[in-house]
Amino acid sequence: MRILVVGASGYIGARLVPLLQDRSHDLVLTSRDAGPLAARFPETQVVAADLLDPATLPAALAGVEVAYYLAHSMGAGERGFAERDRQAARNFAQAALRADVSRIVYLGGLGDDAADLSHH
């Protein structure tokens, strides 16, 4: 199965990729800066893509059946996080629909809703 992992450089993604590799899936990993991710997973296809730039998404999604969406927009800070995150998810969902991806596995923020937590 061809699987895309968006957010493979993060805590969960970096642990998910080896599990999927062990099951012999055809993986595609994506990051805005593909270099570090390609160095970390040298035997896996890495495609540079920016979730806020829809034109970069089709190459990452080509032939993908399942996508793990583990990304978030916190890197740019809390200000405007919610709208950036929504826009990134919309861009990805639209591109995945056009690419005929059959399933998106989405992981949002973990934890409770206490007032002192980040917006994520």
- Nearest-angstrom CA–CA distance, 108 and 33: 22
- Nearest-angstrom CA–CA distance, 16 and 22: 10
- Nearest-angstrom CA–CA distance, 71 and 120: 11
- Nearest-angstrom CA–CA distance, 116 and 39: 36
pLDDT per position as a tens digit, 11-63 = 899 999 999 999 999 999 999 889 999 999 999 999 999 999 999 999 999 99
**pTM of full prediction above 0.85:** yes
pLDDT per position as a tens digit, 66-119 = 999 998 765 555 567 778 888 999 999 999 999 999 999 998 765 556 665 555
